Every structure is written in structure tokens, then in C-alpha cells.
A and B are shown apart, each in its own frame.
Chain A
Amino acid sequence: MLEIIYFLIISVMAVLLVVDIVKKHDVAELVCIAVVLVTFALRALHIK
């Protein structure tokens, strides 16, 4: 039960952060930045 509550809390927090970012920026541009950033970061950190 507690696991589910914690899962919900982190989900709500994540959604709130995403809503805040989306409100302030252009969604399509954010997606572009995310795609580039994830790829660059994974290579920079030698994960991929």
C-alpha cells in the first residue's frame, strides 16, 4: 500500500514539474531539446 502511495507522490511531482515546464516553453521545442540532450548525455556519460 505504502509503495503505491509513494509511486503516486512521485508521479504527481513529476507531472507538476512537466506542467510547469510546458506552460513556460514551446512543447515541440522542448521535445527537440530532450531528444538531443538525452542522446548527447548518454554518450557523454559513456552509458551508450
Chain B
Amino acid sequence: MIKSLFQNSYAKIREINKKYETPTIEMSRWVKLSLLLLRLYLFTLIGLSLYKFITLLK
């Protein structure tokens, strides 16, 4: 039963990934720049969180 649940979930996730493979928003320069800045922001914050976590463990 658990195996079937995991298989079904995996299949559903693949279906979702396929359905939303291509973004529908018009990728203007403004949209691309915003998403790039958002990526940089998130990587910085996640990096800082990881650094904090590692220094806490030490």
C-alpha cells in the first residue's frame, strides 16, 4: 500500500512537472531581471542560513 502511494505520488509529480514545464508569462527583459535578482537574493539568504547553521554546529 505504501509502495503504491509513493508510486502514485511520483507519477503525479511527474505529471505536474510536465504540465508546468514551460512558463506562460511573457519573458520580457523586466521579468528576466526580476527573476535573476530574486535568485541572487535567495541564494544569498540561504547561504547565510547555512553558514549560521554550520557555525552553530561547531
Whether chains A and B associate is: no
